[in-house]
Amino acid sequence: MYKIVDKKNLAPNIFSMDILAPRVAQSAQPGQFVIVIADEKGERVPLTICDYDTEKGTVTIVVQSTGCSTKKMAEYNVGDYFEDFVGPLGQPSEYVNEDLNELKKKKVLFVAGGVGTAPVYPQARWFHERGIDVDVIIGAKTKELVILEEKMSKVAGNLYVATDDGSYGFKGMVTNLIEDLVKNQGKKYDFIVCIGPMIMMKFVCKLTKELGIKTIVSLNPIMVDGTGMCGACRVSVGNETKFACVDGPEFDGHLVNFDEALRRQTQYKSEESEKGGQHVC
Ligand code: FES
């Protein structure tokens, strides 16, 4: 059993929770995820790691209550226990194994969309701890959906916020802001890490391909059970078939067949709604 030791409301229907899981906190690396099972009848819910504290032994997850399982999880409070908390799973981000001196010469941009801001935070923190300043864009539909801005501002070299409706920061999509930074402000990036909704990652990759900037994406949104068993996260990367939960979740975004991945995601959503949204409730 895994105790919830802190809970914060970040935005409407979006919560962060600190879970006491010392062994997971000890070995977590940027890019990895955990599987949470709320109670003995609960589904396996793969969630990205938003933060980890090796001294306190805690791992922070961010839950957006959209489906049955995440709604149930969001009802848990400080002092309650999750049935299981498995991880860290998946491959760490590829730069973790890069030569640090080489990495220090590179300019990196992180692009976070919505709750995708959660997995971007530990990555930006990883760079900050090694004395590397990275630029970060947080994108959201509206001001009230911008999450983790203050936390991110402590680890980002430059932090930019974009909202679709212009209620806060730059008015427009993250793709508009990337174009502005690169074309108008003369920013140069060696690579971009983009994490957010599939459709956002698709269009960011379309743009960065034109701009000639290598882009890594995280395909955690298409994971279902996170075990390599259900096949839901199967995706074509270049000429190869990959499983996001086992081979990823991070891949070269310019090689990912987003249309296929989006079709599969839509198929699972419509199957869920055919069951009245009662996804194993
Ligand atoms: Fe089920 Fe990857 S999420 S196989």
CATH number, position 78 = 2.40.30.10
**Residue 241 has which token pair?**
């078939």
Question: What single-letter amino acid sits at 278?
Answer: Q
Per-residue confidence (pLDDT) for residue 271, from 0 to 100: 53
127 part of a folded domain:
yes
40 part of a folded domain:
yes
Q: Of the given ranges (4-13, 145-154, 230-239), which has the lowest mean pLDDT?
A: 230-239
Q: How far is the CA of 46 from the centre of ligand 1 (A)?
A: 9
Per-residue confidence (pLDDT) for residue 61, from 0 to 100: 94
Per-residue confidence (pLDDT) for residue 156, from 0 to 100: 96
Which tens digit of pLDDT belongs to each residue from 125-135? 999 999 999 99
DSSP codes of every residue in the chain: -EEEEEEEEEETTEEEEEEE-HHHHHH--TT-EEEEE-STTPPPEEEEEEEEETTTTEEEEEEE--SHHHHHHHT--TT-EESEEEEEESPPPGGGGS-HHHHTT--EEEEEEGGGHHHHHHHHHHHHHTT---EEEEEESSGGG--SHHHHHTT-SEEEEEETTSSSSEES-HHHHHHIIIIIS----SEEEEES-HHHHHHHHHHHHHHT-EEEEE-GGG-SSSSSSS-TTEEEETTEEEEHHHH-SEEETTTB-HHHHHHHHHHHHHHHHHTTT-S--
276 part of a folded domain:
no
**Ligand 1 atom closest to Cα of 229?**
4
Domain boundary among 37, 60, 89: 89
Q: How far is the CA of 228 from the centre of ligand 1 (A)?
A: 4
For atom 4 of ligand 1, which residue has the closest CA?
A: 228
Instruction: For residues 116-122, give the mean pLDDT.
Output: 95
Per-residue confidence (pLDDT) for residue 70, from 0 to 100: 85
- How many Å apart are CA 148 and CA 87, to the nearest integer? 23
For ligand 1, pick from 43, 45, 229 the residue to mutate: most ligand atoms within 8 Å of CB. Answer: 229
Per-residue confidence (pLDDT) for residue 230, from 0 to 100: 86
281 part of a folded domain:
no
Q: How far is the CA of 253 from the centre of ligand 1 (A)?
A: 19
Instruction: For residues 266-279, give the mean pLDDT.
Output: 51
Note whether 118 and 165 are same-domain residues. Answer: yes
Note whether 235 and 102 are same-domain residues. Answer: yes
Note whether 44 and 129 are same-domain residues. Answer: no
Provide the pLDDT confidence category of residue 145 given band limits of 50, 70 and 90.
very high
279 part of a folded domain:
no
Note whether 105 and 25 are same-domain residues. Answer: no
- % of residues, the chain, pLDDT over 70: 95
Which tens digit of pLDDT belongs to each residue from 26-79? 999 999 999 999 888 888 889 999 999 999 999 999 998 887 888 888 999 999
- Mean of per-residue pLDDT scores for the chain: 91
Which tens digit of pLDDT belongs to each residue from 177-228? 999 999 999 999 999 999 999 999 999 999 999 999 999 999 988 888 888 8
Note whether 84 and 188 are same-domain residues. Answer: no
Note whether 103 and 39 are same-domain residues. Answer: no
Contacts of 227 (CB under 8 A, 6+ apart): 35, 44, 245
User: Is the per-residue pLDDT at 266 higher than 80?
Assistant: no
**Ligand 1 atom closest to Cα of 243?**
2
Domain boundary among 89, 105, 130: 89
Q: How far is the CA of 194 from the centre of ligand 1 (A)?
A: 21
Note whether 248 and 160 are same-domain residues. Answer: yes
The dihedral of CA 137, 142, 145, 148: what is its sign? Answer: positive
Q: How far is the CA of 220 from the centre of ligand 1 (A)?
A: 10
CB contact at 8 A, 11 and 146: yes
Per-residue confidence (pLDDT) for residue 278, from 0 to 100: 38
Which tens digit of pLDDT belongs to each residue from 92-113? 999 999 999 999 999 999 999 9
275 part of a folded domain:
no
- How many Å apart are CA 154 and CA 24, to the nearest integer? 24
Residue 233: give its domain's CATH number. Answer: 3.40.50.80
- % of residues, the chain, pLDDT over 90: 78
Note whether 102 and 49 are same-domain residues. Answer: no
Note whether 226 and 204 are same-domain residues. Answer: yes
**Ligand 1 atom closest to Cα of 232?**
1
13 part of a folded domain:
yes
Range of the domain at 54: 2-89
- How many Å apart are CA 280 and CA 6, to the nearest integer? 27
Domain count, the chain: 2
274 part of a folded domain:
no
Confirm whether the ipTM is greater than 0.85.
yes
Provide the pLDDT confidence category of residue 4 given band limits of 50, 70 and 90.
very high
Q: How far is the CA of 222 from the centre of ligand 1 (A)?
A: 8
Domain boundary among 89, 120, 152: 89
Note whether 122 and 142 are same-domain residues. Answer: yes
Write out residues with Cβ below 6 Å of ligand 1.
223-233, 243-245
**Residue 109 has which token pair?**
């941009």
Note whether 212 and 117 are same-domain residues. Answer: yes
**Ligand 1 atom closest to Cα of 226?**
3
Q: How far is the CA of 85 from the centre of ligand 1 (A)?
A: 17
Note whether 107 and 76 are same-domain residues. Answer: no
Rounded to a whole number of angstroms, the CA Rg of the chain reads: 18
For atom 1 of ligand 1, which residue has the closest CA?
A: 230
- Length of the chain measured in residues: 281
Provide the pLDDT confidence category of residue 273 given band limits of 50, 70 and 90.
very low
